[in-house]
Amino acid sequence: MISRYTLPEMGALWSEQNKFQKWLDVEFAVCEVHAGMGTIPPEALEQIKSRAAFTVERINEIEKTTDHDVIAFTTALAENIGEAARFVHYGLTSSDVVDTANALLLRDACALLLAKIDALSKVLKRRAFEFKATPQIGRTHGVHAEPTAFGLTFALWYDEMGRNRERLERARERVAVGKISGAVGAFAHLDPIVEERVCARLGLKPAPVSTQIIQRDNYAEYLCTLAIVGASIEKFALQVRHWQRTEVREAEERFKTGQKGSSAMPHKRNPILSERLCGMARLLRGYAVAELESIALWHERDISHSSAERVVLPDASITLDYMLAKATSLLDHLVVYPERMLENLNLTRGLVFSGQLLLALTQAGVSREQAYEWVQRDAMKTWDEGGDFRTRVLEDADINQHLQREQIEHVFALNTYLRNVDAVFARVFGQ
């Protein structure tokens, strides 16, 4: 991932230095288990652990000759370890090291992402309660529908992020799996107890069965989960983009002092961060597709997954890490205009109360079909001829035969639509 979208902690996790360090952690764990079982002399283990060292530059230099990064890695270690290096990588194949190290990297990446989900959820909860009683027009098909509470939007997103957190926790468990089972996963040169003990040392579960690699449905689940979380963020950002439209202007991204919106038009304040988040969500879906296509490999393995995963595993993790951080900042500092929401709610001159009027008439004994016809008649006149819907209803002889004036006035009261917001909040937040 380009540096523009890479935050320091996640970027460091996926650095070449940390990748090779995780490879070394796996090699150390294997040597320690072998030493405990008597396969490696204790003095050899001491020499390995005290002398093993590498530099990314040296590994890359050796790989120019070997054209194999794991061999370049073990060669670089051997240059520093000396004679005891013959016990390093004992009985292993490359994927034993790479896939088990990937499990460590993905597990740590999940921890960072879960922390950022928690930070975003905290902001969503705060803003939900902040605007719990703020009326806003709800829209369906992009058209004004009925009044709602602005805070319900944030409650909805909070609930969704809770599901995303559960998904990511499941994905973390799925990817935290190691394998130390040899070239085709048949334990030809290692006792399965080695795998169990190595994984225990590393805080991983051993794969119940594997080929030369950990099966890629595990990684696909991780990347699909990241894509779902990214799609949620895209959904939030798309809504902000709607709110910021000039014709709507119910909320907008914070515009900092000195910020510029357009090189040509000085007046512009564009939803650039929201649009950026929507674009980056597309990347996550693409990464997920690449890993879905890595599930099917030839026989016990081929290497077609490797080139894709060198990109998609770090890039997807870094992308979502960035998106979560930016979405949190966006919504934390979102500028909200409740007065404008009220103006928009009244824009259709009362038409948005038609549903409540329909119900009031049916409660008064009018058939639903007849009530719908009367209410729609007055609504269409308001759409086509202008005027005020409430005034038309008060002058409608058919409706006034069945509803008293105070009943009609109750239909047009906002609190009728917001009376159960507290109950919804209790379900979402448990308060």
Low-confidence ranges of the chain (pLDDT < 70): 431
Domain with CATH 1.10.40.30 in the chain: 351-411
Which two structure tokens, joined as six digits, stand for 407? Answer: 């009943």
d(CA 48, CA 32): 10
d(CA 1, CA 12): 12
Domain with CATH 1.10.275.10 in the chain: 1-90
**205-206 and 251-252 strand pairing:** unpaired
CATH number listed for the domain at residues 99-341: 1.20.200.10
pTM (global) more than 0.85: yes
Q: Report the Cα–Cα distance between both ends of the chain, in Å, rounded.
A: 41
pLDDT for the residue numbered 256:
80
Give the architecture-level CATH label for domain 351-411. Orthogonal Bundle (1.10)
**What residues are labeled active site?**
141, 262
Residue 354 identity (one-letter amino acid): S
pLDDT for the residue numbered 261:
79
Q: Which CATH superfamily is domain 1-90 in?
A: Fumarase/aspartase (N-terminal domain) (1.10.275.10)
pLDDT for the residue numbered 257:
81
Residue 143 three-state SS? strand
2: how many CB neighbours lie within 10 A of its CB?
A: 7
Is residue 28 within 8 A of residue 52, CB to CB? The reply is yes
d(CA 171, CA 319): 17
**Interhelix angle for 304-332 vs 94-130, to 10°?**
20
